[in-house]
Amino acid sequence: MSAALSDGAPLLSVEGLHAGYGRIPILGGVSLSVTAGDFVGILGHNGMGKTTLLRALMGYLPATAGTVSFAGRDITTVSSTARAKLGMGFVPQGREIFPGLSVFENLRMGCLLNKANEQATIAEILTIFPRLKAYLDRPGGALSGGEQQLLALARCLCGAPKILLLDEPTEGIQPSIIEEIIEVLQAIGRERGLTVLLVEQNLNFIASLSKRVLILKKGVITQEVAPEVARDRTMIDEFVGMD
């Protein structure tokens, strides 16, 4: 049984998280908290540990120190499947849709945690993604990169997550679809109050969506900046710089 989440308590809370690959430490003590309904963006250059952080939060990589709590419960040693069941949704870098399955079958895979209401769930999610409705019988792999990103998002939402962890959704995607993804995420935040933690390098994307922006540098959160600041490349280069 998970503990009830008291008013004002963070939905996701991370304290001094360390994780890495074998003996290589990558996260050197990440601390952050995300309250329900928040939209938090994390900016960091290539190789700074963005994917590693999300993988550690999802339990794909073990924490070597520190704690992760979700919905009032310590999940530091909980399996990734159990984290998904608790309501943590993850859209990985590179989308990872099933290219050989149709768009509809991809969405069904997203309903595995929510099977009883499969048809109704898919119908409801498709109202947010009208573009996908026309492609239901197409193999996922036949969609453009941007459409695959929309599919990956839609598939994740079929699992009715409480928090959405997004790993660089704009990577390799055309500007027109980036705008569409911004609109979809804004609508989901506004209409469903979904909580989102996003890692990105695209300044306009992160600034357009985030209520708070954190800077990840060499495996630690070094500071928080206002979303408007994230639009200013000169300032951001200083904060996220490689030195």
Ligand X SMILES: Nc1ncnc2c1ncn2[C@@H]1O[C@H](COP(=O)(O)OP(=O)(O)OP(=O)(O)O)[C@@H](O)[C@H]1O
Which SS3 state, helix, strand or coil, does residue 221 take?
strand
Does residue 214 bind ligand X (CB under 6 A)?
A: no
23 sits near ligand X (criterion: CB under 6 A): no
Which CB, 26 or 154, lies closer to ligand X? 26
Q: Between residues 26 and 160, which has the closer beta carbon with respect to ligand X?
A: 26
Q: Does 210 bind ligand X (CB under 6 A)?
A: no
User: DSSP per residue over 50-99, as a string?
Assistant: HHHHHHHHHTSS--SEEEEEETTEE-TT--HHHHHHHTEEEE-TT----T
Contact flag: residue 193 with ligand X (CB under 6 A): no
Helix (H) or strand (E) holding 209: helix 203-209
The least distance separating ligand X from the CB of residue 221, rounded to whole angstroms, comes to 13
Q: Nearest approach, Cβ of 170 to ligand X (angstroms)?
A: 11
Per CB under 6 A, does 44 bind ligand X? yes
Residue 50 vs 83, nearer CB to ligand X:
50
Please choose, from the candidates 54, 51, 48, the residue with its C-alpha nearest in 3D space to the C-alpha of residue 243: 48
- Binding range to ligand X, per CB under 6 A, among 44-52, 76-84, 156-164, 188-196: 44-52
According to DSSP, residue 117 is labeled: G
- Cβ neighbours, 10 Å, residue 226: 12
Span of 29-37, 49-57, 67-75, 139-147 interacting with ligand X by CB under 6 A: 49-57
Residue closer to ligand X by CB (options 51, 195) is 51
96-100, Cβ contacts within 8 angstroms, sequence gap of 24 or more = 96/152, 97/140, 97/141, 97/143, 97/148, 97/151, 97/152, 97/155, 98/140, 99/139, 99/140, 99/141, 100/139, 100/140, 100/141
> Residue 48: which of Mg ion, ligand X, none does it interact with, CB under 5 to 8 A by kind?
ligand X
| Residue 52 near ligand X by CB under 6 A | yes
User: How far is Cα 193 from Cα 90, in angstroms, rounded to an integer?
Assistant: 17
Site string for ligand X, 61-100 (x = CB under 6 A): --------------------------------x-------
Contacts to ligand X by CB under 6 A: 21, 24, 26, 44, 46-52, 93
